[in-house]
Amino acid sequence: MAVTESAERKRKTARGKTSRKQTKSPSRKVAMTKSQVEIKRVSPALGAEILNVDLREDLLDDTIAQIRKALVENSLVLIRDQDITPEQHVAFSRRFGKLEIHVLTEYLLKGHKEILVLSNLKKNSKLFGRAGVGNYWHSDLQYMPKPSLGSILRAHEVPEIGGDTMFANQFLAYDALSDGMKELLAGLRVVHDFAKARYRSPQPYSDKAMKKTRPVTHPAIRTHPESGRKALYVSPGFALRFDGMTEEESEPIFEFLYEHAVDPRFVYRHKWRANDIVFWDNRSLMHNAVQDYDLQKDRRHMHRTTISGDEPF
Ligand SMILES: O=C(O)CCC(=O)C(=O)O
Ligand SMILES: [Fe+2]
């Protein structure tokens, strides 16, 4: 009995020592490279809120990987209560790729050309950002040969009511098309032109900016490079016509698609709070900034970074 007890004690001690020895260094390493972000879906259509991250910190590669996975799976991630500086906004954005410098250079943030200012605030009675833009369905930089992967919008000031942004899931829009329509669109490309937005804008677009863009064509259905899912990629924002067709011929199909693409079942409408960060995937969503607030009275001030993307296929 005494022998057994002591043998048991020895075994326990040995096990304890061994397990401490074996787990000590790996567990410390795990603590430095692993994290577990909490993810909560925000609507049946799309979007996920990420709960326990602080963008003022230099995030672990693993945390960035989890945010990227959440983006690919949900097309949009929301991170609330992030009172970050432009430096921190740019640093966070860079973890996902190269950043774009918008062609409308007059609205870039001084000292931070990666940030586009979307704002109706004035300095010396002059607007210093773009006011009331994006109030039509579009995907960012769809008019460029390599459109944006995603945009990261940071809210500084938002109206108490109004000024929401709507997002429409184009994977769902594609999935809900008939086989016949899928087949027809699979063989088509769309001509997109930045100039289409120029005439809608309340603020003038400089000729210099216009010279930096020209009409481009992209497939009507694009394949997401990370998930392989197919998405409808036609938007009223910049689309002129199908390649090889006239505008008149394209119009009836466009009209059907524009209505179909933004069926309420595919849409999430984001009600902004100051210090919200919304990161959306331009490869699978369209968005529309609802212009229902008073541009002269209701303050809305946002900063956007735009992540470079690949040529759609
Ligand atoms: O102001 C917004 O909510 C979005 C505007 C927009 O289209 C964009 O930032 O890409
Ligand atoms: Fe936009």
The tens digit of pLDDT for each residue in 71-87 reads 999 999 999 999 999 99
What pLDDT score was predicted for residue 77?
Answer: 98
Question: What is the per-residue pLDDT across 270-300, written as a single tens digit (0 to 9) for each?
Answer: 999 999 999 999 999 999 999 999 999 999 9
Strand locations in the chain (E) = 39-41, 48-50, 76-79, 108-109, 112-119, 122-123, 126-127, 150-157, 165-169, 189-192, 216-219, 221-223, 230-232, 239-242, 267-270, 277-281, 285-289, 301-307
Residues in contact with ligand 1 (CB, 6 Å cut-off): 118, 133-134, 140, 151, 153, 165, 287, 289, 302, 304
| pLDDT confidence tier of residue 202, bands split at 50, 70 and 90 | confident
Residue with tokens 């949900």: 74
Residue with tokens 């022998």: 3
Q: Looking at the domain 41-307, which fold is it?
A: Double-stranded beta-helix (3.60.130)
Rounded distance between C-alpha atoms, residue 141 and residue 240, angstroms: 15
| Centroid of ligand 2 to alpha carbon of 102 (angstroms) | 12
Q: Which of 102, 138, 192, 222 is catalytic?
A: 138
Average pLDDT, stretch 111-126? 94
List CB contacts of 75: < 8 A, sequence separation 6 or more: 46, 47, 167, 169, 171, 280, 281, 284, 285
pLDDT exceeds cutoff 50 at 18: no
List the residue whose alpha carbon is closest to atom 4 of ligand 1. 289
pLDDT exceeds cutoff 90 at 25: no
Is 287 one of the annotated active-site residues of the chain?
A: yes
Rounded distance between C-alpha atoms, residue 248 and residue 20, angstroms: 74
Helix (H, G, I), strand (E, B) or coil at 70: helix
Question: What is the per-residue pLDDT across 122-163, written as a single tens digit (0 to 9) for each?
Answer: 999 999 999 989 999 999 999 999 999 999 999 999 999 999
Distance between terminal CA atoms of the chain? 75
What pLDDT score was predicted for residue 201?
Answer: 74
Q: Which of 102, 140, 218, 241 is catalytic?
A: 140
Rounded distance between C-alpha atoms, residue 284 and residue 76, angstroms: 9
List the residue whose alpha carbon is closest to atom 1 of ligand 1. 289
Give the ligand 1 atom nearest the CA of 134: 7
Q: Residue 68's closest CA among 281, 233, 225?
A: 281
Mutational test site, ligand 1, from 138, 153, 292, max ligand atoms within 8 Å of CB: 153
| Core vs surface per residue 266-303: b (16+ CB within 10 A) or e | bbbebebeebbbbbbbbbbbbbbbebebeeeebebbbb
Is 138 one of the annotated active-site residues of the chain?
A: yes
Q: The pTM is what? A: 0.88
What residues are paired with 59 via a beta bridge?
none
Following CA atoms 77, 80, 83, 84 in sequence, which dihedral angle do they give, to the nearest 10 degrees? -10
What pLDDT score was predicted for residue 13?
Answer: 41
Please name the amino acid found at residue 221: I
pLDDT exceeds cutoff 70 at 22: no
Is 218 one of the annotated active-site residues of the chain?
A: no
pLDDT exceeds cutoff 90 at 190: yes
Domains of the chain, residue spans: 41-307
Give the ligand 1 atom nearest the CA of 304: 9
List the residue whose alpha carbon is closest to atom 6 of ligand 1. 134
pLDDT exceeds cutoff 90 at 59: yes
pLDDT exceeds cutoff 90 at 211: no
What pLDDT score was predicted for residue 198?
Answer: 76
Instruction: Tell me which of 209 and 238 has the higher pLDDT.
Output: 238
What pLDDT score was predicted for residue 32?
Answer: 60
Mutational test site, ligand 1, from 270, 271, 287, max ligand atoms within 8 Å of CB: 287
